[in-house]
Amino acid sequence: MSIYDATVPLFIQMLTALTGILNKAEAHCQAKGIQPEVLLSARLYPDMLPFTRQVQLACDFAAKGSARLAHVEVPSIAETEKSFDELRQRLAKTIDYLKAFKPEQFEGAEAKDITFPAGPNTNLTLKGQQFVNRFAFPNFFFHTSIAHGILRHNGVEIGKRDFLGVA
């Protein structure tokens, strides 16, 4: 399986699923009379990032990880979303960005060096396959899982099928 086949379609699937749970979260707020900011700022624990930031980071890991693997300029994306609609727009833009990639852009990516920031003052270099398995996927799935967990913890009726996008 190519690096493209292992990454881009999966990122698209999961970001599409995240859009679905975002829609359910907004409907939950409307049905229960909850101000949207309550869910958008919700956290699983006080020292964790809020729901909005989890969605932003999931988008970032998908877009920036794909750009690094394709050896194209890594996009710079402002983190300004404050509503369900703005988060939906960010997800849609990220999905469109991912759909523009072609498999041939990823040829040989598994063996190429990928250098990326791994902290405020630290860069790390891994081969493409290691980058996917040890950095891109773990971080992407961490943030998508936490976003799902925040909503579920706050009463939004979603489950595994929603997380996978097969609901």
pTM score = 0.96
Q: Give the per-residue pLDDT at 167.
A: 72
Range of the domain at 30: 3-164
Contacts of 71 (CB under 8 A, 6+ apart): 105, 109, 112
**Calpha distance 68→41 (Å, rounded):** 30
Strands (E), 102-146: 113-117, 123-127
Q: Give the per-residue pLDDT at 121.
A: 86
Encode pLDDT of 97-155 as tens digits: 999 999 999 999 999 999 999 888 899 999 999 999 999 999 999 999 999 999 999 99
Encode pLDDT of 15-51 as tens digits: 999 999 999 999 999 999 999 999 999 999 999 999 9
**H helices within 33-83, ranges in order?**
36-40, 51-70
Q: Give the per-residue pLDDT at 113.
A: 97
Encode pLDDT of 50-104 as tens digits: 999 999 999 999 999 999 999 999 999 899 999 999 999 999 999 999 999 999 9
**Calpha distance 8→101 (Å, rounded):** 8
How many domains does the chain contain in total? 1
Other beta carbons less than 10 A from residue 144's beta carbon:
24
Question: What CATH number is associated with residue 61?
Answer: 1.20.120.450
